[in-house]
Amino acid sequence: MKYLPRRSQLLLCFFILTLVYNLLHVKALETLPVYRLLHSEQISTTTGKTFIRGTTSASVPSSQTKTYFECVANLKKSSATLSQDTETERETEITPNNEQEEFVKCFKGTVAVFPLFSLLEFDISLFSEGGTCKGILIILPRDLLTTKTQEFVTFQNEEERESKEEIIKKLGQIESLLIEKEFRVPIYFINEDEVSHLFSFDNLNSENKANKQGSYNLKIVGKPGNKKKIKQVSSLEAWLPTDLDEEGKLKPTIIITANYDTFSISPALSSGLESGNNAVGVLVELSRLFKKLYSNPQTKGQYNLLFVLNSGSKQNYLGTKKWISSVDRKVLESVELVLCLDSLAIYDDDLESKRNNDLFIHYSNGGKVEVDKKVPMKFQSVSKLFGINAQTVTKKIMKNNPLISFEHEIFYRKKLKAITISNFQSYNQTIRKGSLLDLQKESNTNNNHMKTITTLIAEFLSKMIYKPQEQQQPIAIFENNFEPNNLVIQNINKMLLKYNRFSPFLEKDEQFLLNLENTFKSFGLDTKIESKKISLKKETYYYSGTQAKLTIFKVKSLLFEFFVFIISLIYLAGLYYILNGKKKTILEIKQLINNRKKKD
């Protein structure tokens, strides 16, 4: 080195340092959070048979990864070569079944990595049997509702363009399939942000894929979890009373209800708001506004107001059913109207139908209870004042059908007049049932719209309570000091987004429930949390162990390990040289060479 010119020495040093730095800087191990697909068991009361649903495995052994695009590309290559051979030898046609079999074979012995929307292109149930692959990792895109799904190249038809609503509907069907069928391979979900440096699916065109091909090994150490069933449901009540009448009896009551639980096919990802929980913030803000009004004797209404938050909405409104059966009879007899708040807005600017401003007033007709049609009409007229289109949806309740589509039906069956306000027209829409697409992020919250909805509902309630003569004009109470506060709604939403609210896993003393109770108490309302035990005829068990750690590491090439081996030999030689001394080492080397020459 000392015989080289100075500049070359510096360059060589720089090169060696860069090489050493790059050598040392390679990240060998990385640990990321992953979320397991639901695992549930349902025991039939008639046959005693157990129906297993979702994924039954928890651990993924250390295995190589293969992405969806890799196997599609392989398939295309093999089909191209086969089509070239048809002239000469092959008679076998390439049928969809053959393609599917080859597609599944491609993932054998590896961890299959699928971006979420790729599930639209093949039947995921092909992987339900054990041995098809070591595990499935589904990557949830960064912005679930605003991703450019129209550019996604389909497996079967490259030219087809589908509207986003259709895609959401199809995804809903796939989600249903995932939790209705038994999968003997572990299925996990991971956020795109966590693995964007490893698997890039930005450009979804399979020909120009930016998928990083490296030999990555994945390992997931997951616990199967404990069997849990819904043992209890908790209800949070906030009571805003008015004065008793002259006979000392309760005046009429209006109940306003909402639900705080949600559902997701991965319980660890059940923190969304759009399936019905964005009404919680609205309900809390309504309670604050009306408490303020009732504090002034001049504006105190002649109705009692009862604000209720229930759980179990995705289990056929279990919480509401339990709550209504335990309410004080006197209160029940005084109920004039039940206003059920469902999902009040969907925050998606991409939706083609532009439904985010529409509301639907659901009520039931027929039978012994008739909702005064003036009530939905009143809501419609109030909503017009705020520029929101509200449509009525009526449904006859079949007594033999236990399925509850919307919450008001429970009250209807108890002979109470009730309506549900919802952003959804139908009960079985994907996001309303609880979906992975319901991962509402704080940044998506359209505060002005929620404020408008809150004002609208407050206006409607005040018209019910105060019964002004001029029904077509707004009462103009909810402005200035009585204007709904965005911050209250926003803070409640932010707080709920932090907690998983999958009802089978909820306990009596959940922190967010206690926070909500404290919020109501801070407004001055009489609040209590009541937990009721549940014993169902049909037992459904859910397994915990919904989160795991994924370890991902790059498998080093043979060349790299050989390089490390050479470096270690150089280190040992250098150490020997330093400890032994220069002269002795050179002497020993000369002796060795001379001995070899003598042997030769």
Positions that interact with another protein (CB under 8 A):
24-25, 27-29, 62, 217, 219, 551, 553-556, 558, 560-562, 564-565, 567-569, 571-572, 575-576, 579-580
Nearer Cβ to another protein (50/215): 215
Scanning the structure block, which residue is given the tokens 């989600």?
175
Give 168-205 as a DSSP string: HHHHHHHHHHHHHSEESS-EEEEEHHHHTTTS--SS--
Count of all residues that appear for the chain in the document = 600
CA torsion through residues 54, 441, 437, 345, sign: positive
* The pair of three-digit structure tokens given for residue 400, joined into one six-digit string: 């033999």
Sign of CA dihedral 298, 303, 309, 314: negative
Q: Which CB atom, from 15 or from 565, has the smaller least distance to another protein?
A: 565
Cβ-based nearer residue to another protein, 12 or 575:
575
Is the separation of the CB atoms in 335 and 416 below 8 Å?
A: yes
Q: In this complex, which beta carbon is closest to another protein, that of residue 491 or of residue 551?
A: 551
Q: How far is the CB of 548 from another protein (least distance, A)?
A: 13
Residue 86 vs 580, nearer CB to another protein: 580
Q: Residue 547 Cβ, how far from another protein at the closest point, in Å?
A: 13
Is residue 280 within 8 Å of residue 496, measured between CB atoms? yes
**In this complex, which beta carbon is closest to another protein, that of residue 34 or of residue 309?**
34
Name the amino acid, one letter, at 204.
L
Q: Tally Cβ neighbours within 10 Å of residue 546.
A: 26
Q: Which of 109/367 has CB closer to another protein?
A: 109
3 state DSSP class of 61: strand
Give the span between the Cα atoms of 407 and 419, in whole angstroms.
8
Cα separations in angstroms, 22 against 16, 47, 564: 10, 63, 13
> Least distance (Å) from another protein to the CB of residue 561?
4
CB atoms within 10 A of CB 386: 15
Which residue, 486 or 551, has its beta carbon nearer to another protein?
551
Q: Are 254 and 461 in contact (CB under 8 A)?
A: yes
Six-digit token string for 93: 């046609």
- Which residue in 77, 166, 156, 163 sits closest to 121, CA to CA? 156
Minimum separation from the CB atom of position 550 to another protein (A): 13
> What is the smallest separation between the CB atom of 38 and another protein, expressed in angstroms?
24
Closest distance of CB 559 from another protein, Å: 9
Q: For residue 321, which of 336, 330, 310 has the smallest C-alpha distance?
A: 310
Rounded Cα gap, residues 396 and 55, in angstroms: 37
Query: Rounded to whole angstroms, how far apart are CA atoms 99 and 121?
Result: 12
Tell me which residue of 121, 129, 31, 29 sits closest to 68, measured CA to CA.
121
Nearer to another protein, 439 or 552 (CB): 552
Q: Which residues contact 537 (CB under 8 A, 6 or more apart)?
A: 45
Task: Indicate the residue among 19 and 126 with the shorter CB distance to another protein.
Answer: 19
Pick from 396, 261, 244, 377: nearest CA to 318: 261
Query: Least distance from C-beta 68 to another protein, angstroms?
Result: 23
Name the β-bridge partners of 554: 216
* Residue nearer to another protein on the CB measure, 10 or 569: 569
Residue 157 vs 215, nearer CB to another protein: 215
Quick one: CA dihedral 173, 274, 359, 366, positive or negative? Answer: positive
Q: What is the DSSP letter of 262?
A: B
